[in-house]
Amino acid sequence: MSWSTIFFICMALVLSTQTADGYKYYRSARCVYSDDLHDMEFIDSYVFNKVEYIRFNSTVGLYVGLTEHGIYNADLWNKGPIVAQEKTQLEGYCKHNAANEYSNILDKHVKPSVPRLSSGTPSSGRHPAMLMCSAYDYYPKQIRVTWIRDGQEVTSDVTSTEELVDGDWYYQIHSQLEYMPKSGEKISCMVEHASLDKPIVEHWDPSLPESEKSKIAIGASGLVLGLVLSLAGLIYYQRKKSNGRTLVPSG
């Protein structure tokens, strides 16, 4: 047997023991809060090989068994001193951390960015026109997006998404209004959010956007230039023709 064969066998043994199933035992403590942090629950779970078999639940104030073994343990632990210690965690751990988290994250406000309103094709086909109003990258989640037409809030034919989670603490929301255009009307979208001293109001401007205006201006200048040049050409041609006539004696 050569050394390399022995080495290979040893490696195979090491690898097989490393990949063989072992045992995993862990305990996880968590605080579950309501949105306003007023309701909270402390849960202390014990998990063996992916099976949670016992947990302390602060709402019940006791250990709760989830398997036969867990129920057996819960009976014992609920009689012992350990349960008293768990009972202090709701105040000492969950409530204490809630105050920290509140001042670090939850009382922060980030203003939504509201781009100018855009028009689109109505999806339902009940009305010929559709406007879209969006708010991006704001925090916290609560927001109000409303449509105002000639000073009145519009509630019918408005479709809004929920507050969509961006996955980075920020949210976005989109609202669309389907309507029958009238001349001289004023349509606006109003966004209210805790980060704003006064609501953001975007007015619908049915005239063309700046980029379109400049395209038209460039096109029109081209047309004028073209006309001027062809006119100059025509005059030049006419002049030359009449000059030719005087140069060549007639008769």
Ligand X SMILES: *[C@@H]1O[C@H](CO)[C@@H](O)[C@H](O)[C@H]1NC(C)=O
Interface with ligand X, residue 73, by CB under 6 A: no
Instruction: Show the tokens assigned to 130.
Output: 């559709």
Interface with ligand X, residue 195, by CB under 6 A: no
Kind and range of the H or E element at 37?
none
Beta carbon nearer to ligand X, 65 or 140: 65
- Give backbone dihedrals phi and psi of 120, rounded to 5 degrees, phi first: -150, -175
Q: How far is the CB of 107 from ligand X (least distance, A)?
A: 27
Interface with ligand X, residue 94, by CB under 6 A: no
Give the torsion through C-alpha atoms of 15, 20, 26, 30, to 10 deg.
80
Interface with ligand X, residue 57, by CB under 6 A: yes
Give the torsion through C-alpha atoms of 131, 136, 139, 142, to 10 deg.
20
Beta carbon nearer to ligand X, 46 or 179: 46
Interface with ligand X, residue 60, by CB under 6 A: yes
Q: How far is the CB of 44 from ligand X (least distance, A)?
A: 10
How many other C-beta atoms are found inside a 10 Å radius of the C-beta of residue 193?
Answer: 23
Q: How far is the CB of 30 from ligand X (least distance, A)?
A: 9
According to DSSP, residue 141 is labeled S
Interface with ligand X, residue 59, by CB under 6 A: yes
Report the interface residues with ligand X, using CB under 6 A. 41, 43, 57, 59-60
